[in-house]
Structure 1
Amino acid sequence: MHSLRQIDLGRLLFVPLCVGFMILNTKSLLDGGSGRSALQVVSTVAALAFYTVLTVMYLRRGAASRTDRRLGRWIVAGLATFSGFVIPLVGSKDVAEVVVGTGSVLIAVGVLLSIWALLHLRTNISVVPQSRELASSGPYRFFRHPLYVFEYISAIGLTLVSGGGWGWAVVVVLAVLQILRARWEEELLHEQVEGYTAYASRTRGFS
């Protein structure tokens, strides 16, 4: 029973998913007949790099000191993580070239900044609320949830590229989910991570 509890379910479920996204992005880059712009290619390369770094961090991370196991919070975390994938499915398809270009820039910038955040979050990465160590370098010196902010920039870019439509509703819902997620994570970190309260007092967050 003890060994079962030591299984990292997040790693078990999330690493294969990230590897799948890496394969899809690699296939997209190798598809020479796609007619994509240079900005779209950059966005794809950035996404490939993001999932590669994310996979490495998940493979290296150790056990959490505590996990919030409340189902509602897991559902919110999961929806916040994956709701962005709905955006291309609900957008309108008639998109001006300048809008696609702007969206592609936002996607690339958001993903590159997300990689920066991941490199400083390191093995503290988690979808559901968990406590490990304090991350306070890189963008975490300035505010407490940079990864969520940077991912949100990418979501806005994806909405532009996808033609808006109901994608904007997803963006609004995503903002609410990320704020809830961040606040619940902070409750756990204040309790479990040494130095987090002092860190939170000198940085900006969603609360």
Structure 2
Amino acid sequence: EALSMAAGRVVPSAFFLASALAKLQALADLLRDRHDLPDRLVALSFYATCAYRAATIVFFLLIAAFFAIRLNPVRSSPGAWQTIVALAGTYCMMLVSVAGQANVSPAVTIVAAVIMCGGTVFSALALIQLGRSLSISPEARRLVTTGLYAVIRHPMYLGEMLGSVGMVLQSMSPVSALVFAVFCLLQIKRMDYEEGVLQSVFPDYCLYRARTARLIPGIY
């Protein structure tokens, strides 16, 4: 069991650290190889894209760090299906990023980059508040009810969904829109599973759920 716990920290931590380093190299290449920026709009789109990539690097480094020091779970979801859904929800939007972006205008690139950067920063703030309770599979470690979590129960997912809207806008592809729809459905199922585990462990969870929104206050 101790070996399994260690692997549960080391493997995801190493994955996100490697991903952060790869994105850092890509950002360095982008900055080194950039051509002359012909006008202000093109320059703004370039720097907005760089800002988003930098935010992603910081976010991945935070994930790697918190996975390395996360607490042992008090309880985990009993089924393999819940883990499959969680993994699919975590990584499916990578299909959009692998496909690359369409030849969109600088204005669209700016809007997409701002949305993606905003979503990433929001997720990073939620991650810092979640801290050592971070997990991919539905698991209960401790109940976090402060900061963003005092208002909404799943702020990291909200940030990821917001950032994913920017990815779809940048790709301008029906396939990307379909992947995003599947991503949202998977995340909703993840919320169901996570809330079920937390409710089974923490007696105060029902009261917490009653006074908070799942994602958007007053709407959902």
| Residue 42 (structure 2) aligns with | none
How far residue 91 of structure 1 moved from its aligned partner, in angstroms, is 6.4
TM norm structure 2:
0.87
Over aligned residues, Cα RMSD in angstroms? Answer: 1.8
2:71 paired residue number: 62
In the alignment, the residues of structure 2 paired with residue 164 and residue 98 of structure 1 have an alpha-carbon distance, to the nearest angstrom, of 17
- Unpaired runs of 5+ in structure 2? 36-44
Distance in 2 (alpha carbons) for counterparts of 1:23 and 1:156? 24
Aligned pairs (5 A) from 1:88-127: 88-90=97-99, 93-127=102-136
- Which letter does structure 2 place at the counterpart of 1:107? M
Query: What pairs up with 1:167-186 in 2 under 5 angstroms?
Result: 167-186=176-195
Q: Which amino acid aligns with 1:170?
A: V
| Alignment partner of 1:202 is 2:202 | no
Counterpart for residue 2 of structure 2: 3
In structure 1, how many angstroms separate the alpha carbons of the residues matched to 2:135 and 2:2? 20
State how far apart, in whole Å, the 2-side matches of 1:53 and 1:143 are: 21
Task: Report Cα offsets for 1:56-97 as digits up to 9, x if no partner.
Answer: 111111210011131111111000000110013456633222
- Letter paired with 1:23: L
Contact between 1:88 and 1:159, CA under 8 Å: does it hold in 2?
Answer: no
Whether the 8 Å contact between 1:91 and 1:166 is mirrored in structure 2 is no
Summarize the alignment of residues 1-207 of structure 1 with structure 2, pairs less than 5 Å apart: 2-5=1-4, 7-31=5-29, 32-34=32-34, 37-90=46-99, 93-205=102-214
Unaligned runs of 5+ in 1: none
Answer whether contact 1:88 1:167 (CA < 8 A) is retained: no
Q: Count matched residues.
A: 205
Residue 195 of structure 1, CA deviation: 2.1
Residue aligned with 1:37, SS:
helix
Please, which moves more after superposition, 127-136 or 7-16?
Answer: 7-16
**Hey, what's the Cα distance between the residues in 2 that align with 1:58 and 1:8?**
10
- Which residue identity lines up with residue 33 of structure 1 in the other structure? D
SS state at 2:20 partner: helix
